[in-house]
Structure 1
């Protein structure tokens, strides 16, 4: 019995020993699995962190790029504004050149008409102011828009009205007439009638011409009536005026009528002086307004201009009325509807050369007799 009991004890002991390593291994395996799981979780967390970090980096990069772009754009805008506001930048340089439409003479089939000298100007007159003789003419009796030559009549009405030329008035927004031509006058300035007259005749300032009519006793309506009354008095029967400036294209006259206007305006030394100043600095308040003549012949040594006025609108073309000395004679030269300034000046030079030749021929003929 003891022998079997010992046998069974030995077997049980051996079986227990065989099972004990398996029991110890199970916890080790479980521990290893847990470690592996922890490592996986840690790796995943690290990976997640890295992805998040990359996303954050990308976001920051996008935001930084966006901010840089905004700053860059803002900088460009600021620079552009400074550039546009800079006085050194000429607006003319970037201005789109406007193409002028057909003139009144073109629409009525007058431009391009021929004459012995081949002048490009539609209506031309050369008139001897001493003998009242027509020296040369082309469509001189045609009634055409006269643009700023109107201002000669404005000056004549002001001077003959007896109003005080030293009386000062304030420039207002009402004087800001719609025009592509520039003006030196600004809202709130104070200037005298004489100063306004100077600007109107010398540099053809439209605001100055409007200022003269607005401040006239009785206002603009009375001033325009006086202009038309004066025109009738001096025999300008083909002429009519609707404003003091010449921007109204219904202001019309003929070259022959304008020779009469030159003769009447020329009776006043003040009009002669103010219209033929090459350049002047006019004190207006605390400012000095610098203006120049619109007529290049005034400062030209080859010409002796004693009275003048230029004009330009699309309907009128380039116009000129002036009194000058040619061959010892006082001659009125009137051009209406020249196609451009260069053509107008070329025609003037050509007409002057022709008249000089005529005067020399006439003089030689008289000497031989």
Structure 2
């Protein structure tokens, strides 16, 4: 009897392992099919935000100087909104000066009270990760680094970057700011974000301000060339053309490293009109963050293709027109504002479908468009959905992606005369229909 009981227990344990192990293996495979040697990583289609690969992408981790992507976003945003200009002169404060003189950090030395253009400081920050220059820009845009950090956190919330904590403009650990870290933060604080959050920030930076690539793609430049204290700047992104780990199509975005963050890199590369964004966090060496990035990019370019579900100005199949209320015309075409393109695994395009959802102030409760309405007015969304159970979703939303649905022409409101006769016609039409239904009922 003892032998039989032991045998039964062994059978039960064997069955349990048989059921559990394949599930765990499947999860591991889905998590890291590439064997990426980093604490966290993600690969995203820059056009649609489609997630193509992720590893530990939701865990908040130190981001080091990848922080400067948010600083760059806010600087470019301020230029676009007319708050500052690229040729505006910035006077260097004592704080920015002291940090810029620290040769143990990435820097271009700045003169105390010296004047530099916004463009010069921005290039130093974006190309050479210059910390003093970044602080000078933060003080210009925010009035102080403390205020700028608040702008960073506000923007992170607006962009829905997830669990984020910005405590300074540079990505340094606060203890490296020589006791001048922003008020309300501690010396041990540093900036925290998940790989998914960083990728989402890069996604918005590239799509809102694509000119960021004009600077991030510069391999080498001289700061203050021809001036009293010129500085040779070599981009820390060694995957750019002509540098150590040159990678075809690579033109951005930002490196970062601290003792706690390890070696990090947000990269972007484009080939034949297809652009990807990759994030590697916590790699174990300066070089490995680039080799792991190449692994991610190779995976994207080799295994995925760009498909177009709906062309710009075209209707979603089966949803060409929508009824118009009180318009000179009784219906109008609804079309895609922009082309719906996304990267999918080769041969899996059939798993992705588009459908429309009418919404907004121009739509009544019955789903009709209310006249008058102007061409290209948004009247809802085109939703992209996947039937693939292993689909990783989008960087902006988990399971679906929306694109703007618009009307393809102006529809003016009909005058009172036309509306009156339509109402009369509708009344008699309904009356006649009732009579016919009544008579038909007599003969049933």
2:60 corresponds in structure 1 to: 143
- Aligned equivalent of 1:275, options 205, 211, 216: 216
Task: Give the Å deviation of 1:347.
Answer: 1.2
Residue 268 of structure 1 and its aligned partner are, at CA, apart by 1.6
More moved, 230-239 vs 284-293: 284-293
Pairing partner for 1:169 from 80, 83, 90: 90
Structure 2 residues not aligned, in runs of 5+: 1-30, 174-188, 306-343, 351-444
* TM-score normalised according to structure 1 size: 0.63
Is residue 318 from structure 1 mapped to residue 259 from structure 2 by the alignment?
no
Alpha-carbon distance between aligned partners in 2 of 1:356 and 1:164, rounded to the nearest angstrom: 38
Aligned ranges for residues 196-345 of structure 1 at < 5 Å? 196-248=121-173, 249-266=189-206, 267-283=208-224, 285-299=227-241, 302-325=247-270, 328-345=273-290
Cα RMSD between the aligned structures?
2.4
Give the Cα separation in 2 of the matches to 1:286 and 1:155: 27
> Secondary structure of the residue that 2:264 maps to in structure 1?
strand
- Higher strand content, 1 or 2: 2
The 8 Å contact of residues 173 and 187 in structure 1, kept in 2 or not, is answered as no
- Equivalent in the alignment of 2:107: 183
Distance 2:300 2:141 in 1: 41
Instruction: Extract unaligned runs of 5+ from structure 1.
Output: 1-113
Aligned partners of 2:86, 2:247: CA distance in 1, in Å?
A: 33
Separation in structure 2 between the aligned mates of residue 141 and residue 160 of structure 1, nearest angstrom = 27
Q: Which of the two has greater helix per residue?
A: 1
Equivalent position of 2:340 in the other structure = none
Q: Cα offset for 1:354?
A: 2.6
Higher relative contact order (Cα pairs below 8 Å, separated by 6+ residues): 1
Describe the shift of the 1:345–1:207 C-alpha distance in structure 2 as closer, same or farther (beyond 3 A). Answer: same
Residue matched to 1:346: 291
Q: What's the TM-score, normalizing by structure 2?
A: 0.53
Q: What's the CA shift for 1:126?
A: 0.3
Deviates more, 1:281-290 or 1:265-274: 281-290
Q: Compare CA radii of gyration and give the structure with the larger one.
A: 1
